[in-house]
């Protein structure tokens, strides 16, 4: 949804900490239910998007937050 909004309004570069693939894998490893929407790469939603991410340090911090919730 966020990538689609970026694409529709032309906000430019998309920066993110953790990819949907990483999040899906993490949640599965924690025994959490999968999310209600398809986990697609940004460029599958906005072809040609300029993308920066994931960021290893920030992804680790996001993962820790999910571990606290589900772990």
CA dist., res. 50 & res. 53, Å (int):
10
Residue of 39, 34, 35 whose CA lies nearest to 21: 39
Q: How many domains does the chain contain in total?
A: 1
The residue range of the domain holding 42 is 2-70
> pLDDT tens digits for the chain (71 residues)?
688 998 999 999 999 999 999 999 999 999 999 889 899 999 999 999 999 999 999 999 999 999 999 97
Q: What is the pLDDT of residue 34?
A: 87
CA dist., res. 66 & res. 63, Å (int):
5
């Amino acid at each position: 949804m966020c990538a689609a909004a970026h694409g529709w309004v032309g906000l430019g570069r998309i920066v993110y900490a953790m990819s949907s693939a990483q999040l899906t894998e993490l949640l599965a490893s924690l025994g959490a239910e999968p999310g209600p929407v398809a986990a697609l790469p940004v460029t599958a939603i906005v072809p040609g998007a300029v993308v920066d991410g994931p960021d290893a340090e920030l992804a680790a911090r996001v993962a820790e937050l999910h571990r606290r919730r589900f772990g």
